[in-house]
């Protein structure tokens, strides 16, 4: 399925549009099913989104007691480490919105080796979701076309479990990530792409210059969006 592209004037406008989309999706899910399940992403644009959601008028528009936060991927570091996606989301949003702490489901990356963490998180997701898909998955796009921690030429691309682990050579780090089966099952998937540094990869993908990148293997069953600023879409 091809993504619907939303091209915004600049990074700030993109963040505002994303905040409105997040609120709308959350409210619709809560109205229909009484709960909103969302997987958060790391990165600078998602950070801006989380900071925006923690401010008026957005924070008051969501019943945070009915929101459950998951994480699309995580580095195997302590939750207090500066490289932790959880730490970023906590500082940007979680500490500033009225969400019950038991509704924040972080990857327990301090509790063992990466494969064990992936197994534990899969169990948590199954226990909370109870066979329901995620309502929203937020993703960034790396310059090599990776999404979450689904990197090119890694076994994680073909994993069939809900979550899996991998060692990323170029970063010399272990990661835990949601897999395509989990992401593609979501009711809505949004990929954030901002900045001129992403223009080349956007051009190559949209013009068919490259094939087989991790982002190109996404096949969401639900709604699928690319939120881009003009700088990222500049070569498109």
CATH number, domain containing residue 63: 3.40.50.1360
Any domain includes 193: no
Answer yes or no: are the C-beta atoms of 107 and 175 closer than 8 Å: no
Banded model confidence at residue 170, pLDDT cuts 50, 70, 90: confident
Any domain includes 102: yes
Q: ω into residue 57 within 30 of 0, thus cis?
A: yes
Average pLDDT over residues 186-210: 95
Arithmetic mean of pLDDT over the chain: 96
Any domain includes 190: no
Residue with tokens 């580095």: 75
Residue 111 has pLDDT above 90, yes or no: no
Any domain includes 188: no
Any domain includes 205: yes
Pairing state between β 163-168 and 223-229: unpaired
Closest CA to 48 of 176, 150, 186, 192: 192
* Domain span including residue 32: 4-180+198-210+218-229
Question: Which residues lie across from 5 on neighbouring strands?
Answer: 226
Any domain includes 235: no
Residue 42 has pLDDT above 80, yes or no: yes
Residue 235 has pLDDT above 80, yes or no: no
pTM of the model: 0.96
Any domain includes 189: no
What does the alpha-carbon distance between residue 186 and residue 102 come to, in Å, rounded to a whole number? 22
Closest CA to 99 of 46, 44, 38: 38
- Tally of domains in the chain: 1
196 alpha-carbon distance from chain centroid: 21
Any domain includes 72: yes
């Amino acid at each position: 399925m091809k993504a619907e592209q939303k091209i915004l004037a600049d990074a700030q406008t993109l963040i505002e549009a994303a905040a409105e989309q997040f609120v709308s999706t959350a409210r619709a899910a809560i109205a229909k099913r009484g709960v909103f399940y969302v997987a958060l992403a790391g990165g600078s644009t998602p950070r801006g989104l989380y900071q925006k959601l923690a401010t008026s008028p957005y924070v008051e528009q969501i019943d945070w007691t009915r929101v459950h936060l998951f994480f699309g991927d995580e580095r195997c570091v302590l939750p207090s480490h500066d490289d932790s996606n959880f730490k970023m989301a906590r500082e940007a949003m979680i500490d500033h919105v009225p969400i019950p702490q038991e509704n924040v489901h972080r990857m327990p990356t301090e509790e063992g080796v990466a494969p064990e963490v992936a197994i534990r998180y899969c169990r948590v997701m199954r226990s909370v979701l109870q066979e329901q898909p995620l309502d929203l998955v937020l993703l960034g796009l790396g310059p090599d076309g990776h999404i979450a921690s689904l990197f090119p030429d890694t076994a994680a691309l073909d994993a069939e479990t809900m979550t899996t682990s991998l060692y990323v050579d170029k970063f010399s780090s272990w990661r835990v990530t949601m897999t395509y089966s989990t992401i593609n099952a979501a009711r809505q998937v949004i990929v954030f792409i901002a900045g001129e540094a992403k223009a080349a990869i956007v051009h190559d993908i949209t013009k068919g210059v490259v094939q087989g990148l991790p982002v190109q293997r996404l096949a969401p069953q639900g709604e699928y969006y690319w939120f881009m600023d003009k700088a990222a879409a500049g070569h498109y």
